[in-house]
Amino acid sequence: MENVIKLENITVSYLQNRQGLYSVKDLLLKPSFKTPYNKQIILKNLSLNVCKGETLGVFGPNGCGKSTLLRVIAGIVKPDEGIRKINLPVSPLLALGAGLENELTGIENIKLLLILSGNFRKENRAEILENVFEFSELSSADLKKPVKMYSTGMLARIAISSILVTEPELLIIDEILSVGDAGFQNKCKSRIHEIINNGTTFIFVSHIIDEVMEICKRGICIKDKNIIFDGSIKEAANVYQELFH
């Protein structure tokens, strides 16, 4: 199988503000002023290869670097060291509400999300929009309201629908599926299955183990800045649960 994600000895660090130093006053008065920023390592020497069409579930305790790993893959965070090669366009769905503009209507926001994700090509705009409207199951009256009047679930419907109606090549979803109601969740899951069957590579982060096991075949578990297990999803889930015993 063709290798589409290749991470080799990736190290990612963040410059972290020293505690309590948020202003010029602190910079001048605190003894630590010479180095107001600490380097904190989030991922260290991490390597990961993913083949085309693979479905990868990512487990790990809070704050272990799961989201950072996804951001490295999506090209949002640049690793300090190591090699990153991604051979597919990435469709990231990392946080609810990113890119949504409160004052704009549902329709305007959907258009914006489609443009941002590069999925709004001139040829079939009307068709794509219609598909998003239909998938989201929001009424046309709701779609014309500014999204500041939306509930969290409705926001999730807009964000998720805008990605799922397209044919993503590399889909990355971080947690957010669980916001919708049971009906919408099932709809999303069956659409994700459909996308995967069409050959999409899929990376999924969630703390709902059953949800991940249902969709993904391969699993990794992250702890202490690196991957501590890489194998079948079932074993990965076991390793993950063992962490808490």
Q: Which positions lie near other proteins, rule CB under 8 A? A: 14-17, 22-25, 27, 37, 40, 71, 74-78, 90, 92, 94-95, 97-99, 101, 103-104, 108, 112, 115-118
Q: In Å, what is the CA distance from 115 to each residue of 21, 46, 90, 232, 241?
A: 38, 32, 14, 36, 39
CB-wise, 148 or 234, nearer to other proteins?
148
- Closest separation between CB of residue 99 and other proteins, Å? 6
CB-wise, 92 or 219, nearer to other proteins?
92
- β-pair type (226-232, 81-86): unpaired
CB-wise, 98 or 243, nearer to other proteins?
98
Q: What are the b/e assignments for 14-40, b being 16+ CB within 10 Å?
A: eeeeeeebeeeebeeeeeeeeeeeeee
- Could you tell me if 153 and 181 are in contact, meaning their C-beta atoms sit under 8 angstroms apart? yes
- Could you tell me if 21 and 162 are in contact, meaning their C-beta atoms sit under 8 angstroms apart? no
241-245 LR contacts (CB < 8 Å, sep 24+) = 241/209, 243/61, 244/61
- Could you tell me if 201 and 88 are in contact, meaning their C-beta atoms sit under 8 angstroms apart? yes
Q: Which of 168, 119, 162, 172 is nearest to 138 (CA)?
A: 162
H helical segments located in the chain? 24-29, 66-74, 106-116, 125-136, 140-143, 152-164, 182-197, 209-215, 233-242
Element (H, E) at 78: none
- Closest separation between CB of residue 235 and other proteins, Å? 30
- Closest separation between CB of residue 237 and other proteins, Å? 26
